[in-house]
Chain A
Amino acid sequence: MYEHDVIVVGAGGAGLRAAIAAKNEGADVAIVSKLHPVRSHTGAAEGGINAALRDADSWEDHAYDTMKGSDYLGDAPAIETLCKNSPKEVIQLEHWGMAFSREEDGRVSQRPFGGLSFPRTTYAGAETGHQLLHTMYEQLVKSGVQVYDEWHVLNLAVSDEERPEDRTCHGVVAYDVQSGEVSGFRARNGVILATGGPGQAFDHTTNAVSCTGDGQAMAYRAGVPLEDMEFIQFHPTSLPSTGVLISEGVRGEGGILYNAEGERFMFEHGYANNDGELASRDVVSRAELTEVNEGRGIEDEYVHLDMRHLGEERIIDRLENILHLAEDFEGVDGLVEPMPVKPGQHYAMGGIETDENGETCVSGLYAAGECACASVHGANRLGGNALPELIVFGKRAGKHAAGADLETAKITTGKRGEYELAEIDSPVELGEPGSRGDAVADGGAVAEGGATDGDSILEATVTAEKAKIEDLLERDGIHHSEVRSDLQKSMTRYVNVFREEDGLKKALRDIREARDRYQSVAVSDPSRTFNTDLLQTIETQNLLDLAEAITVGALARKEFRGAHWRAEAQERLDDEWLKHTMLSWNDGSPELWYKPVILEGEEKTYEPKIRSY
């Protein structure tokens, strides 16, 4: 067993920032990550980091844009925390040597991005995430934080009280990929989940194959609510054949979208008469698919993104990486021809419910970054708002877990504040088949003899995980990849940009079937050494739980808000739906409830307005 004050799970932007912050508070910190830190998917972020750095800009404007972008489903305390802290966190990165693009006067460059009232997207070419990830890893090396890389976290060691709000997280159980050793990691102060999003629940995604939502699934099964899972961002410009992302920076610099008839449809078909290509991502994605569905797509599949008119010099200066991506992954030279693009799953706005200090309702358990939902992004994330979220909330979670004093959070977690329970209208039984229906199924571990100290609970969790692995290795059955692939196809078909009741119900049936089939999966590689077959099989279980949560949320929310569009209710219904969709894992199946959105900021209340661009 290993023991530290703070255990950070995941080593992307949020995890690295959390670890550095906790270390600076004097805590003994370790990172446990299934990938080496520099392999994390933060590195694939391209566009930039929103921060109100300049005199003509203000954090208040950034907050207003973010709230509007969220379609009034973000919580004001979280949004204001993000926007107030982003400038100093961006300058912190600059002080750590990050290679930002520069202006003639030597200051960091900023560019326009969708949904922003000021060009406040601070960037490093079209490889901002890569620069951010490596800069932070460098500082991590400097700080001497211990990294257990290629240790795949299997579960959280959480006590088994009846109410999740009474539970405590004592550590994690992880699997050493190289040796097959299963070991407990005791966290004296806290565990911070920074495990990224569940993009692999879909088959056309900009996300890495490692983005399997492990932390979300573990927290969910330990009783922590998942919030607003139905809000999935489909990025309007991904390459059709691979899902590789083409940065919003292309449109920020002046790139234009054309349909098969050569029309600049964002304007000519009235999707966004003011902002055109730079409308919010959800608006542009729906516009593109509408063009395709109405027969104006190219090869009935995609539209064109043209940046040729920007000229070679500007493209090389600010978007060079895009040329490489288009060439390597689509065989297109962006300097001489337009690039084919279509919407692709990109980001999960929802996630593990936290407050603005990164705390969940389970004591000692934190979450930050894409896996968390504070909620900053509400129903739709603005481009350039993911990276500041990593550094602002990663830092806060790290500090808090290390025992630093932060202001008391205004957001409540778990069923501590106002909430309402609801029924799920599912055509099939939800949850895990044959669930044992006790606290163990909820994620809580029961130690032998009923001991409730942290060490015993961790030991019991280790024993349970070892048994699970032995079982997967020993039995006979089907390969998980069939189950995963069918799940991904169903999600992309039915839980995409446009959603309707029948389709969502079909998806739930498919998920039910996939869950049933998953009962008979087996791992055919018998090896203890680097058994990726085993680990991917475990990841597929996580994807099943999260795909179900996304779809249940999408079925429940009968309105159109942000990235969530419903055929049956094509408008935003503020009277009924200014509330967060909450799902709790209860006796092995999801329980649906709602909690109100907080629109009251520090100085003002954000009144919902019609969202047009």
Chain B
Amino acid sequence: MSTQVPKQKEAESPAEEESAPSVGKQRRDQAKAERRTAAEKQKEAAEKAKEAEDTYHIKVFRYDPEVEGKQEPRFDEFHVPFTKGMTVLDALMYARDHYDPSLTFRHSCRQAICGSDAFFVNGSQKLGCKTQLSELSEPVRIEPLPHQDVVKDLVVDMDHFYEQMHAIEPYFDPDELPDGELEEQRQTRENREKVKMSTRCIWCGACMSSCNIAAGDNQYLGPAAINKAYRFAMDEREGEARKQERLKIIEQEHGVWRCQTQFSCTEVCPKDIPLTEHIQELKREAVKSNLKFW
């Protein structure tokens, strides 16, 4: 399992094949090159932190398609002063704000709900904000999610993931609604409980990245999209007709039957969604509904 930088860039030797940099960019690069003092200061700070006893050693994947020296993927090492409760995300933020402002990663809520910061940490998909440094062995290796194109450093292109999520018609679409704008649909507690875990998905992409099938079959809907389909197919408020349509979408060639129940998605899901079980259940539903129509 390896991290992918966009293919056309990988083969290129940096300077020649790039289109000529703009005058502005040349000037910028020159200015940066001259900025030794700032860089030295950062280095000093990093050295000091290294000497201090309580630091964590992290190794972070770096890549930028347009910055010299970063076009070839590499790992940068940072020694981050450790404080109790520090997460992988905290360490990255510290390294960015104190050592290298160009260190790039998505993050927003810091509380495992926005789903921005799934990374490949010591060989496994994890949410940076929810992963304690103290539970990891050093050096902590932080890479972008595997099987997705890397945009820069830890940022991957999520477009394919979003396309798969959209492919299952991810919106509630009931056969009928109650009359009256103040009339609610009834739903049993049991049914709400049944779909509850599936609604917890935060679209972080960890599951898709961990899935061997998705890695080999780019058209495979993937665990998150199938779980999204489950969320609607199992919701009693939608009705039987819509459910049958949904089952048709997920039992297509690149749908549920591709899953080989390896449970890797379930293992990495930061919201503990039983993804594999949901996929299996949809397989059974698909079989049942096909029998019905025979």
Residues of A within 8 A of B (CB): 35-36, 38-41, 43-44, 53, 87-88, 91-92, 94-97, 99-108, 125, 127, 129-131, 134-135, 138-139, 141-142, 178, 208-210, 241-242, 244-245, 324-325, 328-331, 470, 473-476, 479, 481, 485, 523-533
Contacts of A138 in B (CB 8 A): 170-172
- Provide the residues of chain A in CB contact with B28, threshold 8 Å: 473-474, 526
> Could you show 17 A-B contacts with beta carbons less than 8 Å apart?
A35-B108, A35-B114, A39-B108, A39-B114, A39-B116, A53-B184, A97-B172, A99-B235, A100-B192, A103-B189, A130-B202, A141-B171, A242-B85, A474-B27, A527-B66, A530-B152, A533-B104
A88 touches B113 (CB 8 A): no
Closest residue on chain A to residue B172 by CB atoms? A97
Docked pose: A310 CA to B189 CA in angstroms:
19
Measured between alpha carbons, how far is A524 from B196 in the docked complex, in Å?
45
Residue ID in chain B nearest A124 by CB atoms: B199
Contact of A91 among B32, B110, B171, B182 (CB under 8 A): B182
> Which residues of B152-180 have CB atoms within 8 Å of chain A's CB atoms?
152-153, 155, 158, 162, 166, 169-174, 177
Q: Are the CB atoms of A41 and B108 closer together than 8 Å?
A: yes
Chain B contacts for A43, CB-based, 8 A:
109, 113-114, 202
A524 touches B189 (CB 8 A): no
What is the bound-complex CA distance between A405 and B115, given in angstroms? 38
CB proximity to A under 8 Å, residues B123-171: 130, 151-153, 155, 158, 162, 166, 169-171
Separation of A475 and B158 alpha carbons in the complex (Å): 33
- Asked if B74 is an interface residue, CB under 8 A from chain A, the answer is no
Q: How many residues of B contact A (CB 8 A)?
A: 69
Q: Which 4 A-B pairs have the closest CB atoms?
A: A97-B172, A106-B186, A525-B102, A138-B171
Q: Which residues of A contact B85 (CB under 8 A)?
A: 241-242, 329-331
**Given A91-B181, A104-B189: A476 touches B66 (CB 8 Å cut-off):** no
Q: Are B200 and A127 in contact (CB under 8 A)?
A: yes
Q: Smallest Cβ distance from A317 to chain B, in angstroms?
A: 9
Question: Does A525 lie within 8 Å of B192, measured CB to CB?
Answer: no
Which single residue of chain A is at the shortest CB-CB distance from B112? A328
Which residues of B, 176-208, contact A by the 8 Å Cβ criterion?
177, 181-189, 192, 195-196, 199-203
* Chain B residues in the interface with A (C-beta under 8 A): 24-25, 27-29, 31-32, 34-35, 38, 64-67, 84-85, 96-97, 101-102, 104-116, 130, 151-153, 155, 158, 162, 166, 169-174, 177, 181-189, 192, 195-196, 199-203, 232, 235, 237-238
Give the complex CA separation of A527 and B21 in angstroms.
12
A91-B182, A331-B85, A524-B102 as given contacts; A102 in contact with B189, CB under 8 Å: yes
Verify A242–B111 contact, CB threshold 8 A: yes
Q: What B residues does A36 contact at CB under 8 A?
A: 158, 162
B173 & A142 in contact (Cβ 8 Å cutoff): yes
Given A139-B171, A330-B85, A532-B104, A242 and B184 touching (CB < 8 A)? Answer: no
Q: Which of B35, B115, B173, B187 contacts A39 (CB 8 A)?
A: B115
The answer to whether B110 touches A92 (Cβ under 8 A) is: no
Cβ of B151 and Cβ of A529 under 8 Å apart? yes
Cα of A330 to Cα of B86 in the assembled complex, Å: 10
Residues of A within 8 A of B238 (CB): 97
Which residues on the A side are within 8 Å of B65 (C-beta)? 529
A88-B181, A530-B155 given; A97·B114 CB < 8 A = no
Contact check: which of A38, A91, A97, A526 meets B29 at CB < 8 Å?
A: A526
Contact A328 to B130, CB < 8 A, known contacts A39-B116, A244-B110: yes
Known contacts: A43-B113, A99-B195. The answer to whether A106 contacts B108 by CB under 8 A is no
Q: How far is the CA of A504 from the CA of B211 in the complex (A)?
A: 54
Give bound CA distance, A131 to B85, whole Å.
28
Closest to A97 in B: B172
Q: Is the CB of A38 within 8 A of B184?
A: no
Partner of B177, one of A95, A527, A530: A95
> CB distance B203 to A38 under 8 Å?
yes
User: Please, how many angstroms separate the alpha-carbon atoms of A473 and B101 in the complex?
Assistant: 13
Check if A97 sits within 8 Å of B237, measured CB to CB.
yes
> B155–A44 contact, CB under 8 A?
no
Per the bound structure, the CA–CA distance linking A36 and B107 in Å amounts to 12
| A94 to B29 CA separation, bound complex (whole angstroms) | 54
In the assembled complex, the Cα of A178 lies from the Cα of B177 at a distance in Å of 41
How far, in Å, is A93 (CB) from chain B's closest CB? 10
Contact B196 A107 (CB under 8 A): no
Question: In the complex the two chains form, what is the Cα distance from A556 to B66 in whole Å?
Answer: 50
